Amino acid sequence: MRRLTVAALILGLLAPAPALGLALRDMAGREVKLSSPPRRIVSLVPSVTEIVYALGGEDRLVGVTDFCDYPAAARQKRSVGGMVAPSLEVMVALRPDLVVATTGGNSDETFRHLARLGIPTYAIAVNHFTEMMDLIGRVGDLTGRQQAAGPLVATLEARIAFIRRAVAPFAAPRVLYVLWPEPLIVPGRESLITELIDAAGGRSVTADEPQGYPRFSLEAAVARAPEVIVLAQHGPGTKALPMDPWQRLASLPAIKSGRVHAVDGALMHRYGPRVVEGLEVLARLFHPEAFR
The Cα 54–Cα 65 span in angstroms is 17
Q: What is the pTM (predicted TM-score) of this model?
A: 0.87
β-sheet bridge partners, residue 176: 229
β-sheet bridge partners, residue 31: 25
Res 118 pLDDT > 50: yes
Where on the phi/psi map is residue 10: left (φ > 0), alpha (ψ -120 to 50), or beta? alpha
Q: Rounded to 5 degrees, what are φ and ψ at 106?
A: -95, 150
The string of pLDDT tens digits covering residues 206-258 is: 999 988 888 888 888 889 999 999 999 876 555 656 666 777 787 889 999 99
What residue ranges define each of the domains in the chain, with the CATH number in brackets?
19-144 (3.40.50.1980), 170-291 (3.40.50.1980)
Q: Rounded to 5 degrees, what are φ and ψ at 112?
A: -65, -45
The string of pLDDT tens digits covering residues 15-63 is: 344 344 588 999 999 999 999 999 999 999 999 999 999 999 999 999 9
Q: Please list the alpha-helical segments (H only) found in 117-232.
A: 129-143, 146-167, 192-199, 218-223
pLDDT, position 242: 64
- Cis? peptide before 210, omega within 30° of 0: no
Q: DSSP state, 283?
A: H
Closest CA relative to residue 74, chosen from 66, 82, 84, 85: 66
Handedness of CA 62, 98, 27, 145 (dihedral sign): negative
Q: DSSP state, 73?
A: G
